[in-house]
Amino acid sequence: MKRHLNIAVRFTIVTTIVFGLAYPLVVTGLSQLIFPRQANGSLVEKNGQIIGSRLIAQGFTADKYFHPRPSAAGAGYDPTSSGGSNLGPTNKQLVDRVKQDVAKLQEENPGTPIPTDMVTTSGSGLDPEISPASAEFQIARVAKARGISGDALRAVVARHTAARQLGVLGEARVNVLELNLDLDENYPAK
């Protein structure tokens, strides 16, 4: 019995050192060496100040900005409350929210089909990207608020549209924070 206890204690100590200390230090060190920007949260800086992360959505509501997907994370885009709403497709609360969002978007762009990601939340509630169709849907509103042509705005959206990874993984997407920062810098609202 004493021998088995001795083996168990030594095994616990060794695995704790290897998997609880050595492995995390090696992985953290390698990530800092190879991918420092990503390892530190892909933070976006402007004038030496951190203004967000390209990995976490932010709530843009003004007409001069492209809006992200709706969020189910806490009080809106709260990274400490990440997660989906877990509301099923027949849940009255979800149905009412989607109907309200659809009505608001139909007022904004009457007769235009509304992209699904404009009224549905992502699994985390923090998706920083929208589909190119969602960006296209918002172009008229943003162009009017900024006093620029739709074609000029489409060119900016095209610059910020990322293709599928390796040509087959995921879908084309537009990072809302980076797009809005570009607009503020090059096309300030009048």
Residue 57: which residues within 8 A CB-CB, separation 6 or more?
Answer: 68, 69, 71, 77, 126, 127, 128, 176, 177
| 102 in Cβ contact with 118 (< 8 Å) | no
Residue 105 tokens read as: 């978007």
3-state secondary structure (DSSP) of residue 91: coil
pTM of the entire structure?
Answer: 0.79
HSE-up of residue 27 (Cα within 13 Å, Cβ side): 7
Task: State percent of the chain over pLDDT 90.
Answer: 55
Residues facing residue 175 across a β-bridge: 129
Q: What is the pLDDT of residue 179?
A: 96
Residue whose entry in the numeric block shows the structure tokens 């900016």: 156
Q: What is the pLDDT of residue 75?
A: 67
How do residues 16-58 score in pLDDT, each as one tens digit? 999 999 999 999 999 999 998 888 888 888 888 888 888 888 8
Q: Enumerate the domain spans of the chain.
A: 1-40, 42-186
| 164 in Cβ contact with 171 (< 8 Å) | yes
| 136 in Cβ contact with 149 (< 8 Å) | no
CA distances from 110 to 39, 69, 141 (A): 43, 19, 12
DSSP annotation of 148 reads -
Mean of pLDDT values over 102-115 = 90
Is the confidence at residue 70, as pLDDT, over 90?
no
- Ranges 87-96, 113-122, 172-181, most confident: 172-181
